[in-house]
Structure 1
């Protein structure tokens, strides 16, 4: 369409910016299912087409699949390779996915943990051709064993930085919140106030003003950015149920 005014131009850029935003919430139940044989070059929002995507890039972009295998092994070193197998479904053929461990045993998708499947989906999202510039993840810690949250999320953040992807995530997990001890300015707290949702920056709207009020009263500072998850759980940072 012809752009007639500055408002049209502004709206055009906003609309195109939103086209680059994708919200991903991998559905681990769907990740366990066989995938259709299709030419998939992008991962869907719920990653339900992950099997088809990985099977397709094996032929068209083998270097991407090799990178996914390598990254999977770096973070979840129990597994060293990915395997596909045709399965018959109502007269047609689908494909199922499995991971091969160090001993050569294959664990098919229905046998894998939700956390392992979720991480494989995240790798597929990040390494897909033309990945999104802005990636929104809803509660990415779901299905990940508590002992693996730190290493998995650290790995995802490093991969996103390498790819130039900005990540916005929501979480109700104290361990994941702890990952932001050193970057409190990256954390925003959402809470209800008189029926409205208020958004506060953890550093500039909570920690710094809180310490200033204490200092004015001659009291020692109690707001810091260490053990953020515990402080949030105890209610010091807001964002608690009402």
Structure 2
């Protein structure tokens, strides 16, 4: 949905842009703009709910973020103007086709932008029993995971059954998910063990990676997912041998037709520091964005834009090429 983002004097992103695909894996050293990209999208979501300014953001050297969009919104441009200290971006400017048709197109896009979501999962919060009223949308930290699953069990049984089956396939030690009453009117999540179907392990005893993988499955199997999903470190807590399954789960969001689903694709932007996860994208370098930092200035580069990438991949794995510094996007020495 979002085709490109251009930054000017926003945090470390002094003069750079990035083209976005349906799926985007962003990697680079700390302070190279990965989180700033997600923050820009969240600010776009917030300001999309307000009336646009009558004048575009002021020129000069002030911070500014420009957004371009894919069809059918390719004729709409959105700019965010920020305060000089870069702490507040509160001026929204929209260019669109004139007349009622342009207004209707912007209204449709605006509603989609309002569904942008970002997640940084907290396994401690996810393991706590949740109140059913906290459903049905997954919280940004995943803290209402049990409530969302309980809501699905009652109101979206097909999605709940499909998620449960996939969870057990990925985690064969479990025979199924169980939701039971918890203290104070909450609902508690647990899972039955395959070896002993009568024993139920509570979410508090799940591994960190198990909770994260379950939360990502909730996003992937959601009947009505957001238009854009941003994930900070989607691979946290997971063994590298599970990264192919992680990639395929996220692909379910971006490429629903490949899974036989009739819904709009979800644009995914996820960050990582893992060369092992990068290795899973050898066949799709167009989905990889390298963030680099020289001094105080950060830049983005799509891996497929490198003229030498195909030759380099003949010599080594992508993860090795990145880790060694050949591709850039590593901490300065």
Question: What TM-score comes out, normalization by structure 1 length?
Answer: 0.83
Aligned to 2:242: 148
User: How many angstroms apart in 1 are the aligned matches of 2:212 and 2:236?
Assistant: 8
Aligned to 2:188: 96
Question: What TM-score comes out, normalization by structure 2 length?
Answer: 0.62
Question: 1:127: how far off?
Answer: 2.0
Question: 1:15: how far off?
Answer: 4.2
Q: Give runs of ≥4 in structure 1 deviating > 3 Å.
A: 1-17, 221-226
Aligned to 1:48: 143
User: How many angstroms apart in 2 are the aligned matches of 1:176 and 1:131?
Assistant: 24
1:19 aligns with 2:114: yes
Contact 1:175 1:229 in 2 (8 A): yes
Contact 1:181 1:226 in 2 (8 A): no
Question: 1:37: how far off?
Answer: 2.8
Aligned to 1:32: 127
Deviations 1:49-82 (A, max 9, x none): 1111111221112112111111112222222211
Contact 2:253 2:268 in 1 (8 A): no
SS at match of 1:190: strand
Greater RCO (Cα-Cα under 8 Å, separation 6 or more) = 2
Change (3 A) 1:139 1:154: same
Aligned to 1:7: 95
Change (3 A) 1:11 1:34: same
Aligned to 2:38: none
Consecutive unaligned residues of structure 1, counting only runs of 5 or more, are 212-220
User: How many angstroms apart in 2 are the aligned matches of 1:64 and 1:199?
Assistant: 37
1:211-222 to structure 2, matched below 5 A, reads 222=312
- Larger deviation, residues 161-170 vs 8-17: 8-17
1:231 aligns with 2:332: no
Question: 1:133: how far off?
Answer: 2.2
Consecutive unaligned residues of structure 2, counting only runs of 5 or more, are 1-49, 55-93, 97-102
